[in-house]
Chain A
Amino acid sequence: MTTTIERRTGAPATTAAARPRQRVPLTAYLFVLPAVIFLAATVLYPLVYNIDLSFRDVGLKEIVSGGGTWVGLDNYREELGKDEFRSALAISMVYTVLSVGVSFACGLALAVFLNRRFPGRNLMRSLLLIAWVLPTVVSANVWRWMLDGSYGLFNTVLGALGLLEQEVFWLVEPVTALVAVIAATVWSTAPFAMILLLAGLQSIPKTVYEAARIDGAGAWHRFSRITVPMLRPVSLTVLLLLFVTTFKTFDTIYLMTRGGPGDATTILPIHAYLEAFQFFRFGEGAAATTVMLLIPLALSLFYFRSLRREEAA
C-alpha cells in the first residue's frame, strides 16, 4: 500500500539509486527467498488452485474424498447465467462506487480540516484512526444495535429531532439496509482516506499558498487551483485503494445483514461465500470468485499503466 505513495514522489528510489553499484552476492537472494516462497504457497498456490476448482464439479463429497470431475466452462456458464450472480455483481458495483465516492469526499474534508491547527487535533486524529483499526466484527455489531428499529439509538435521536415520524427498521428494508451498510463502510474507510490525503496535503509546499495569497487568491481559489491539482496523484492512489478494499468487503455486510433482506445487500464476496459454504457448490463458488477477481485486477493494471505514463511524461 505504501509503496505506491513512495514511488509517486520517488524518495527511497533515489536513495537506492545513489548507492554505489556493486555485485550482488548470491546470499542476498536468501534474505528474500523465504518470504517469497511463503507467499507463493499461501497466496499464489491457492489462487491457481481456485482456478482449477472453477473447472471442476466439487461438492461436499469431493471436499472430503478429493477429486472432482473436469467440467470445463460449465461452472462459469452456470454462474454467469444465474440471477443471483448478476444481482450480486450489480449490487457490488452500486455499493462500491457509492461507498468509495462518499468515503473519498469525507476523507478529503477531514484531511483539509485536520490540516489546520486547532486544539485537540491530535486527539481527533487518534479517534478517527481507532475507527479504522477497530475490528469490523465490533463496529458491525455496534451499528446493528444502534440501527435497531425499536430500541436503537439512531431512531431515538432522529425522533427527538423530529425527523422521524415512525420507527424505521433500517436493516429490514432493502434500500435502507443498503444505505446502512454503506454508512458503516464509510465510517471505517474515511479515516483511511483521510490519513493518506492528509499526508498528500502536507507535502504541498506552504510557499505555493503564500505566493497565491500574495497574488490575491481567495480560500476557494487556493483550494480549487492549488490543492485539487496538486493532490491529484495521491487522490488517484487513494481512490484505487478505496475501491479495491471496498470491493472485497465481507465482514461488515455479512455481520450486519448476511446479505439480506432477500439479496438486497448480497455483494459478490458474500454470494461466493454462500455458494461454497452454505450450498457446498465449491466449483461454482470458485468460478464466481475468479470472475470477481478480474475487476480489481483490471483496475490495478489501468492504474499502473497511467502511473508509468505519468512518470514517463
Chain B
Amino acid sequence: MRISRARLATALSMVLGIALAGVYVVPVYWMVATSLKQPADIFASPPDLIPSPLTVRAYADSVLNSSGVLRGLANSTIVGVATTLVTLALALPAAYGLARFRLRFVNAFLLLFLVVQMIPAINIALPMFVIFSRLDMVNTYTGLVLANSSLALPLAVTVLRPYFLTVPGEVVEAARVDGCTQWSAFLRVALPVSVPGIVTVAVVSFLGAWGEFVFALALTTRAEMQPVSVVLAGLTNAFGTRWNDVMAVSAVVALPIFLTFLFLQRFVVGGLTAGASKS
C-alpha cells in the first residue's frame, strides 16, 4: 500500500512536471518554430505546430543580410566583453579585500553593494544621459561599458567574496612570510582558488550586458551605436507583422544564453545560488 502510494506521488509529480516544463518550453519552442517558417505560413489558421517546409530564410534575410542587426550584435559583443573585463578588474580585488581583511566598514561596503542593486535602472539612466550629454559621451562604448559595469559590479563582489572566504588565512600568511607582497599573495595564492567564481562572474557580467535594455535605450541615440537589444526592440515596429524575422533575431539574441546553459551551466547555477546554498 505504502509503495503504491509513493509511486502515485511520483507519477503525479511527473505529470505536473511535464505541464510546468510545457509552460517554459512552449514559448522558446514557438520562437524557434516561427523563425523557421515561411512568411506566408505565419498567418496559417490554425497555425502549423511544426514548421513545414522548414526554411532558414528569416535568418538569412534578417540577420546575415541585415547590416543593422549585424552591427547590433557586434556592438553588444564589444560592450559585453569590455564590461566583463572592467567588472573583473574591479570586483576581484574588492571581494578579496572584503574577505581577507577585517576592514572597518565591511558591513557598510556590503550594504552599499546590496542597496545599489535595488535602484531602478531609469533612476541612473536619466541623470547619466544628462551627464553624458554634457561630457559628449552619449553614443560611445565607454558610456555603455560604464553603465553596464555599474550593474554587474555589485553582484560580482557578492558572488566572489565567499570564494575568498574559503582561502585559509594561514596560507596567505605563509606566502607573505615567503616574501610575497599583499598584492602578489592575492594574485598567486587567492586568485587560483577562485577560478570557478571568476568564470561565473565573467559569464553573468557578459550575459547581463548582452541583454541589458534600459541603459542601451537611453544612452544610444544613433543607430550605429545601438546594442542588439535596442535593434531588436526597433524591429518589432519596423517589421510590423513579419514575426518570422523578429523571432529569428530573437533566437540569435537568446543563443548565448542557451550556449551558456549547455556548456557552462555548472558555473551559472552554482554562482547565482552560491550565497543561498553555501550557507
A residues in contact (CB < 8 Å) with B: 1-6, 8-12, 15-16, 19-22, 24-25, 27-32, 34-36, 38-39, 42-43, 45-47, 49-50, 53, 58, 63-64, 66, 110, 113, 116, 118-121, 123-131, 133-139, 141-146, 148, 150-151, 153, 156, 160, 187, 195-196, 199-200, 202-203, 244, 247-248, 250-251, 254-255, 269, 272-273, 276-277, 282, 285-286, 289-290, 292-293, 296-297, 300, 304
Contacts and interface: CB of A to CB of B under 8 A. Distances in A.
Interface secondary structure of B, over-half rule: helix
10 contacts: A5-B279, A12-B278, A16-B99, A46-B131, A47-B123, A129-B269, A130-B257, A141-B236, A199-B277, A276-B126
A1 B114 CA distance: 6
Nearest to B32: A142
A46 to B, nearest CB: 4
B60 interface: no
B223 interface: no
Interface string B224-250: 000001001100100001010011001
Given A11-B278, A38-B149, A130 B261 contact: yes
B102 A19 contact: yes
A290 B122 CA distance: 10
Interface secondary structure of A, over-half rule: helix
Contacts of B124: 42-43, 46-47, 50
Given A137-B211, A138-B250, A31 B229 contact: no
A135 B213 contact: yes
A39 B153 contact: yes
Given A12-B279, A31-B93, A156 B98 contact: no
Contact of B253 (A16, A24, A137): A137
A142 B32 CA distance: 10
Contacts of B109: 32, 36
A293 B258 contact: no
Return the 8 tightest CB-CB contacts between A and B, nearest first: A2-B275, A135-B211, A31-B97, A248-B120, A35-B94, A42-B150, A199-B276, A50-B127
Contact of B149 (A3, A42, A304): A42
A32 B150 contact: no
A118 B109 CA distance: 42
Contacts of B139: none
Given A64-B133, A124-B17, A130-B257, A296 B114 contact: no
Contacts of B66: none
A282 B247 CA distance: 35
A297 B123 CA distance: 13
B169 A133 contact: no
Contact of A130 (B10, B28, B89, B169): B28
B167 to A, nearest CB: 11
B267 interface: no
A305 B211 CA distance: 34
A144 B239 CA distance: 14
Contacts of A49: 127, 130-131
A133 B268 contact: yes
B182 A25 contact: yes
Given A63-B133, A130-B24, A199-B277, 19 more contacts: A3-B158, A5-B276, A6-B278, A15-B165, A19-B169, A31-B93, A35-B153, A42-B146, A43-B119, A50-B123, A50-B124, A63-B134, A110-B20, A127-B25, A133-B257, A133-B261, A142-B28, A156-B46, A273-B218
